[in-house]
Amino acid sequence: MTSHGLPSIRDFRVEPELVPPSAGDTGEPPLAPTPEESRAKIKEIEDKVAFKGQTIGPTAPPANFVALDFLTYLIDIKHQAQTLGWIGGPQFVLELDKKLDQVKGKLVAGEMEPAHEKLGSFIEKVEEQYKETKEHEMEKVKELGKGKELEEKKFITSEGYALLKFNAIYLRNQLGPGEKSGEEKEKENKSKK
């Protein structure tokens, strides 16, 4: 699936479509409930069997981008992802918090290139853990087949991965190109000569 919007946490509700029985279909005595009573009963049943939750869905980028505000948003959705069980492991969460705190420090100081670099480090950490989580899941499936259970420590689900990675990339891109690599600087110097 592709979207021009950024991934965000969205509420969802799944509910059945109930069709009220026709008069006489219920096997009840001739004094059937009134239409209002029927609608109220159907609504009560729908509310009992409906499922509510949260998932990933697209949202528009901010109309007026402010780097510190967006970083605060990124920190907030990281905490929500942890609460939802999309990221976990005290050490991993602490590492992510530390990296985002470093980005914040650089942004407050007006140091855009180092902030850009720290965001890159955050993105790499998310990618590394996602790769490790997928490998761990394969091991877990194999081990469970043998009757053993593995204890999960650090993890990130596909929802947490998309949420954190693509929002961090958006923030990094809004900060500008960042510092050029050594190879890019050499090519630029050669082209000037």
- % residues pLDDT > 90 (the chain): 49
CB 15 within 8 A of CB 49: yes
Give per-residue pLDDT as tens, 35-66: 787 778 877 877 777 788 888 899 999 999 99
The CA distance from 176 to 190, in Å, is 23
pTM above threshold 0.75: no
Q: Which residue has the tokens 């902030």?
A: 115
The pLDDT of residue 110: 93
Confidence of residue 20 (pLDDT cuts 50, 70, 90): low
Give per-residue pLDDT as tens, 139-185: 654 454 444 444 447 899 999 999 999 999 999 999 987 655 445 45
Strands 87-88 and 155-156: antiparallel
Highest-confidence segment of 26-30, 32-36, 147-151: 32-36
Number of H helices, E strands in the chain: 6, 4
Look up residue 191 and give its amino acid. S
Judge whether residue 19 has pLDDT over 80.
no
For the chain, domain boundaries:
6-53, 61-181
CB 10 within 8 A of CB 66: no
CB 166 within 8 A of CB 7: yes
